[in-house]
Structure 1
Amino acid sequence: MSAGIPPWLSHYEKEVPASLDYPDIPLHTYLENAYKCYPDHTAIYFMGKTMTYRELFHDMQLFSRVLQQLGVKKGDRVAIMLPNCPQAVIAYYAVLHIGAVAVLTNPMYKKRELEHQLADSGAKIIVCLDLVYSNVVSVLPRTDLEHIVVTAIKDYLPFPKNVMYPLKLRKEGVKLHIPREPYVSYWDDLMKQPDLPELEKPYIDSKEDLALLQYTGGTTGLSKGVMLTHANLVANVEQARAWFHRSRRGAECILAVLPFFHVYGMTAVMNFAILLAAKMVLIPKFDLATVLKTVNRLRPTMFPGAPPMYVALINHPDLKKYDIRSIKACISGAAPLPREVQERFEAITGGRLVEGYGLTEASPVTHANPIWGRRKNGSIGLPFPDTEAKVVDSETGEEVPQGEVGELIVRGPQVMRGYWNQPEESDNALRDGWLYTGDMATMDEDGYFYIVERKKDVIVASGFNVYPREVEEVLYEHEAVKECTVAGIPDEYRGETVKAYIVLKEKKDVSAEELEAFCRERLAAFKVPRKYEFRDELPKALTGKVLRRVLVEEEKKRMQETRD
């Protein structure tokens, strides 16, 4: 990108400014503002239970006092291991409210992953669901944890669901044994204490003080703790509000299917909703029938998600029974958005679905297509306000000519401070203020960016670079393909071979030979998959992102067993 005005600015919607004035406030101030301006508006809808902003703010302050009583001080790390439920929102904002640092932890973690995250962060307290207590207590001796706060889904269910829920668990054979130990407290008991000490509100420097340690797999080794300040998170949510310029404060309803423990759901759903004083409809786990019924009944206006969620929705056999036309704007992240999915979703809802891009190290959003302006198929869109981006040679850092492939690097107010206790990794990722994303990309003449592939996911077959996304886009054009992913599997002759994993639409059929012929008409020979595997489903993270590495690991294991 040559010096001067970045080309993308001329393609911003006229309502979106190139630069913003960011309030110098801690992130949790947004919840206080929502309470003051819209105290009686619904903040949360959860399985029939509603909470107003007055009630949410009250419970947040109450849990802030609970945490201080348990000894949490400014700068201490508090882990939150919860699905999307009221307690997750309350605990998150309470931790920030007292100057502590939230460590959002996936409830699906196995013991090894959980132990690493808790030990590395030095978390002092964890708030967890009763269903995962056994995993937490098993790693307790090898962490700095001093206290476990246990809560249950039933704690915020309306009557009679709160009574029926334990019966349902027993019927399913779920047995929970949580002993009365000094280091264990129950959420309900803590929130009903009569004489909690007065809240001590420490001074928080939004630019210097950490709000979040968010763990990411990164490109190598064990997950790293991304250090995000209050200012980082405030900047990203303000950028999102500017991008969604038609959003109305106090009038939106956001479907909260993306998990809050993932940085995408945390910013694009929870923080964004609180900033807008919107109603959040919390869904703990993506279940298509539940989503369709909820949209039909509660009429959400926004549905941030991931491509597999939209794929599942548009292919549901009973979709015509539901009215989902309340949805007016969606941003899709975590994985590439196929053009066919985008077009069909918009035709069904009448709303807008655009692809965006981000990474944990940037709070996370750095790019998005204009919601109501010009978007380009296959593009992640334009950099957010105050966000610089360019494509460079990974080794030299020199900018590559327009249209050529290089590593995407970004710089902006949402970019992390660094990795927790990992100065060398921080120096490698952050150079002169630029974040090296690890994603290979191109930029066109208008300043629209295109992710070609992650550096680690590029397939090298017989010396040629094959970018899985390009092949996947072609496969999605076939009328029988519902979902697909492409990976490079070991090959003694070619180094790697391109393999496609396919999920077919209901009542559709196609052979590997037919798919190969279809691809050969549209792709250079070296890009055409040599192998095809038809599956009922693809392995996915809770965000909906397909776990390509799991498929590659399965392949390597099969090959090893064959040799043995």
Structure 2
Amino acid sequence: MDKRWLALYENNLEAKSTIEKRTLTDLLNDTANKHGTNTAITFYGKTWSYQELQKYSEALAGALHQDQFDKGDRLAIMLPNCPHYLFSLFGTFRAGGVVVQVNPMYVARELEYILNDSEATHIVILSDLYPLFKSVRNKVPTKKAIVVALKPDAEVELEGDDILFDSYLKGASAPAPQHSLDPEVDLAVLQYTGGTTGVSKGVMLTHMNLISNTEQTYDFMFSGDVSPPHNAKVVNVLPLFHIFSLTCCNFVTIRHGGNQILIPRFDMPEVLETIKREKPFQFGGVPTMYVGFNQVGKYKEFGLDLVESYVSGGSSLPVEALEAFEAGTGRKLCEGYGLSEAAPVTHFNPSFQERKAGSVGIPLPNTDAKVVAETDAGWEEVGVGEVGEMIINGPQVMKGYWRKPEETKKTLRDGWLFTGDLAKMDEEGYFSIVDRKKDMILASGYNVYPREIEEVLYGHSGVQEVIVLGLPDPYRGETVKAYITPKPDSTLTSQEVIDFCRKQMAAYKVPTAVEFREELPKSAVGKLLKRKLRDEEVAKVKAEQSS
């Protein structure tokens, strides 16, 4: 196997991180023992130390045990970023349970599906979302809601055995027993995929999957010139229900005893004012956030030039946006790659080597990656610079999909995680994502990668955001369509877009249709949603056929 990236590790990093076999409860306890009085959480001016985080987690674990919540039982969390998220997270781990991550933007149908699929016995839910749970409770096995009221004057009409979070903690009369957990076997989190390729699947992540990825990411990020100071401030505006935030912004920060500044949602003025006021050491974001920062500009006015560590993930970062942000801040913006099935990080641009724009970097310690293609002899590694499917092996790779053995067999083969992403590796061992395998367009017999066209379009001065899709075409099989949000005051036309592309790519790649929109659909973490646009187009075609 070709592991040429290991040559880049020299003098900075070992090929294998030392990963102690332990649980996520051990992670918190170790930090609380070392840095107990350090601030663990900051939330709208109020702070909690690591000792307090530990205390509230213990109280929740005791209350859950008193409520017949046992080892292996599932607790759903449906909250925005707030201290109660971390109390619930570590309280569930301490009780021997499994956290079910629930997007607070879900509608009733989606919540019903997750609660039924996971068979969660309890849910910790925001008071504003409590009516949503009540609307489905007769259709799900979840017997108790623990309601978080962030506003002191919030009036909540509870029903049945449901209870307010603070009251629930006060009702704990004894600590939870110390469960005997096998970190390599016992689950910590059910991380539901976004359902972009069908029904949402519960990714089974063990304690060691998450501990391993925390240690791998920590070692890789802080092995160069950048290292966290004492009680480093980390702005965490990425939703904690998303695996990127859970591991990279949460567990890694706890690993070094940092202070998570929690923000419930990405509101540009609030985020900029927080950075200006708090002067954080690190900020983690998705590409749309950095595109937004570029649009505002004023990097020095808000202290963006003082943040030492910037991380991007969740989806591919346009090269034009990356270079504009680095030019404006004078800071390196490091892009990585991961997926829920790998807890999530597998690749990252090293701080101790060149940061290659357009690349997701090199594999983390303890992680093997290769680009393969299916041949008559089976799956074989392709040559340098050739495109194929990226597959991953490492301690962070999931146990499988919850109660979906057939789906698990398709994705995990001979110890390798088949990512479904098309990639290539260069001469030095840096990987680049070409596109999602399922997003590839087959136009007139040619393979067309939407990511390539999107990168070209991001190079146009009038384009702010873009999604490229392949749509059914009776002649070509599929044809290329671009959906664009123009920059403010832009007078961009469809013909200009097409002419611009014609100068920079082969004719079969050039979009045949362009649609301008004020806003493109995004997920809760700001990831552009191709699936939603594709669904709209399919519905439009069906409507035309039936009329």
Answer whether TM exceeds 0.5 for this pair: yes
CA distance in 1, matches of 2:126, 2:484: 35
The letter for the 2-side match of 1:19 is K
- Name the CA shift for 1:180/1:555 in 2 (closer, same or farther; >3 Å): closer
The letter for the 1-side match of 2:397 is V
| Counterpart residue number, 2:333 | 353
SS at structure 2 position matched to 1:268: helix
CA distance in 2, matches of 1:249, 1:430: 39
Higher alpha-carbon deviation: 341-350 or 39-48:
341-350
2:113 to 116, 123, 130: 116
| Counterpart residue number, 2:132 | 135
CA distance in 2, matches of 1:418, 1:104: 16
1:191 to 164, 169, 180: 169
* Conservation of the 8 A alpha-carbon contact between 1:226 and 1:360: yes
The letter for the 2-side match of 1:99 is G
The answer to whether the aligner puts 1:322 opposite 2:302 as a matched pair is: yes
Higher alpha-carbon deviation: 415-424 or 217-226:
217-226
The answer to whether the aligner puts 1:178 opposite 2:167 as a matched pair is: no
* Conservation of the 8 A alpha-carbon contact between 1:355 and 1:369: yes
The letter for the 2-side match of 1:120 is D
CA distance in 2, matches of 1:27, 1:249: 23
Higher alpha-carbon deviation: 46-55 or 519-528:
46-55
CA distance in 1, matches of 2:418, 2:446: 24
SS at structure 2 position matched to 1:340: helix
In the TM superposition, 1:128-527 aligns within 5 A as 128-154=125-151, 162-163=152-153, 166=154, 178-182=157-161, 184-193=162-171, 196-217=173-194, 220-245=197-222, 246-248=226-228, 250-316=230-296, 321-394=301-374, 396-527=378-509
SS at structure 1 position matched to 2:391: strand
The answer to whether the aligner puts 1:49 opposite 2:46 as a matched pair is: yes
| Counterpart residue number, 1:170 | none
Higher alpha-carbon deviation: 275-284 or 38-47:
38-47
What TM-score do the two structures reach when normalised by structure 1?
0.93
CA distance in 2, matches of 1:552, 1:425: 23
CA distance in 1, matches of 2:300, 2:474: 49
* Conservation of the 8 A alpha-carbon contact between 1:241 and 1:247: no
Q: Gapped runs of 5+ residues in structure 1?
A: 155-161, 167-175
| Counterpart residue number, 2:26 | 29
SS at structure 2 position matched to 1:453: strand
CA distance in 2, matches of 1:178, 1:489: 48
Q: Summarize deviations over 1:51-93 as a string: whole Å, max 9, x none.
A: 1222211111111111111111111111111110000011001
Query: What is the CA-CA distance between 1:219 and the residue it aligns to?
Result: 5.8
1:61 to 58, 61, 66: 58
CA distance in 1, matches of 2:298, 2:308: 21
Number of corresponding residues: 541
Query: What is the CA-CA distance between 1:261 and the residue it aligns to?
Result: 0.4
Aligned-pair identity (%) = 45
* Conservation of the 8 A alpha-carbon contact between 2:322 and 2:357: no
| Counterpart residue number, 1:551 | 533
Query: What is the CA-CA distance between 1:380 and the residue it aligns to?
Result: 1.2
Q: Summarize deviations over 1:110-139 as a string: whole Å, max 9, x none.
A: 122111111111111111111111221222
* Conservation of the 8 A alpha-carbon contact between 1:387 and 1:410: yes
The letter for the 2-side match of 1:384 is L
* Conservation of the 8 A alpha-carbon contact between 1:11 and 1:374: no
What TM-score do the two structures reach when normalised by structure 2?
0.95
Higher alpha-carbon deviation: 241-250 or 106-115:
241-250
Query: What is the CA-CA distance between 1:562 and the residue it aligns to?
Result: 3.4
* Conservation of the 8 A alpha-carbon contact between 2:196 and 2:531: no
Query: What is the CA-CA distance between 1:492 and the residue it aligns to?
Result: 2.1
* Conservation of the 8 A alpha-carbon contact between 2:99 and 2:188: yes
* Conservation of the 8 A alpha-carbon contact between 1:394 and 1:407: no
Query: What is the CA-CA distance between 1:252 and the residue it aligns to?
Result: 1.5
The answer to whether the aligner puts 1:96 opposite 2:93 as a matched pair is: yes
Query: What is the CA-CA distance between 1:319 and the residue it aligns to?
Result: 5.2
SS at structure 2 position matched to 1:370: coil
Higher alpha-carbon deviation: 391-400 or 259-268:
391-400
CA distance in 2, matches of 1:352, 1:484: 24
CA distance in 1, matches of 2:301, 2:19: 44
Query: What is the CA-CA distance between 1:241 and the residue it aligns to?
Result: 0.6
* Conservation of the 8 A alpha-carbon contact between 2:299 and 2:328: no
The answer to whether the aligner puts 1:14 opposite 2:11 as a matched pair is: yes
* Conservation of the 8 A alpha-carbon contact between 1:17 and 1:242: no
Query: What is the CA-CA distance between 1:28 and the residue it aligns to?
Result: 2.2
The letter for the 2-side match of 1:190 is Y
Query: What is the CA-CA distance between 1:378 and the residue it aligns to?
Result: 1.3
Q: Summarize deviations over 1:285-324 as a string: whole Å, max 9, x none.
A: 1111110000000111111110001101111166564222
CA distance in 2, matches of 1:261, 1:250: 27
CA distance in 2, matches of 1:330, 1:23: 28
Q: Summarize deviations over 1:131-179 as a string: whole Å, max 9, x none.
A: 111221222222221211111222xxxxxxx45xx4xxxxxxxxx7533
The letter for the 1-side match of 2:64 is L
* Conservation of the 8 A alpha-carbon contact between 1:133 and 1:178: no
The letter for the 2-side match of 1:471 is I
CA distance in 1, matches of 2:499, 2:295: 25
The letter for the 2-side match of 1:75 is G
Query: What is the CA-CA distance between 1:249 and the residue it aligns to?
Result: 5.9
Query: What is the CA-CA distance between 1:326 and the residue it aligns to?
Result: 2.5
CA distance in 2, matches of 1:347, 1:33: 39
SS at structure 1 position matched to 2:203: strand
CA distance in 2, matches of 1:43, 1:363: 22
CA distance in 1, matches of 2:25, 2:328: 37
- Name the CA shift for 1:317/1:248 in 2 (closer, same or farther; >3 Å): closer
SS at structure 1 position matched to 2:429: coil
The letter for the 1-side match of 2:344 is P
The answer to whether the aligner puts 1:73 opposite 2:70 as a matched pair is: yes
CA distance in 2, matches of 1:234, 1:457: 32
* Conservation of the 8 A alpha-carbon contact between 1:124 and 1:146: yes
Q: CA RMSD in A?
A: 1.7
CA distance in 2, matches of 1:305, 1:74: 34
Q: Summarize deviations over 1:509-547 as a string: whole Å, max 9, x none.
A: 221111211111111111111111111111100111100
Query: What is the CA-CA distance between 1:413 and the residue it aligns to?
Result: 0.5
The letter for the 2-side match of 1:21 is T
* Conservation of the 8 A alpha-carbon contact between 1:13 and 1:372: no
- Name the CA shift for 1:14/1:304 in 2 (closer, same or farther; >3 Å): farther
